[in-house]
Amino acid sequence: MTSPTLRERLNISRVALRHPRATYLAWVAVALLGAFAWTRLRVALFPDITFPVIVVTAERPEVPLEAMEREVTLPLERVMSPLADLKQMRSGSSAGRSWLAAEFEVGVPLDEVEGRVRAALPAAGLPAGTSTSVHRVDLNEAPVVTYVLVGRYRTPPQLMGTALGTFLPALRDLPDVERVVPLGMDPAAISRLSGEPADSTLPFTLVRLDGQPGVALEV
């Protein structure tokens, strides 16, 4: 009688048929472990993950590009590069203006990295007359929908009044809405209409839909 080959000895199907109870118990154990793992799995449509990015802008009116890079951009890079948890840094220069975007490791609180950046700025020794600003970029606040209002016989200020008085409060009251941004006019004009302080970080935008001027609410 010949001895079984290695393939026959390692035949899983044959082992399962010979030991049906053990096979059944093994599959029950796999199913129970799968059910336990499923209950521990956290799933969210928009998971709360922090991608901390801080943008520093510096302005010196009427200063040439080369001087902005040498006297402003490079010193900013010098003081930012040693910061803890810094992942990537990008910068740019133009006549009278410099910017630097610092991206930190995922999960580090935005408040913490913003504090580090602000604390490091004085060490850059920027020339007198240089105005700097620090802005935090929360990628979790990226807009998911934009509503545009147009009216053939209504001007953008009239449309903005309707948007601010009717639609914006209703959108803000929706669950999980972090922010509603009005667009389509000068931020100072929007501030006068809404009675709220002007947001200096908002750009002056114009909105058009199908060739008609309008306003928008970015949620």
pLDDT at 22 over 80: no
Q: What mean pLDDT do residues 80-106 have?
A: 84
pLDDT of the residue at 49 = 67
What lies within 8 Å, CB to CB, of 163 at 6+ separation is 149, 182, 215, 217
Tens of pLDDT, residue by residue over 170-216, are 888 888 777 788 888 888 888 888 887 766 666 677 777 777 788 88
Give the DSSP H or E segment for 134: strand 131-138
- Give the separation between CA 212 and CA 21, rounded to whole angstroms: 74
Q: Give the 3-state DSSP-derived string for 93-105, with helices as H, strands as E and coil as C.
A: EECCEEEEEEEEC
CA-angle at 184, arms to 146 and 179, nearest 5°? 45
Q: What angle do CA 29, 31, 32 make, to 5 degrees?
A: 65
Reported as a single tens digit per residue, the pLDDT across 128-180 is 888 888 887 766 666 778 888 888 788 888 888 888 888 888 888 888 777 78
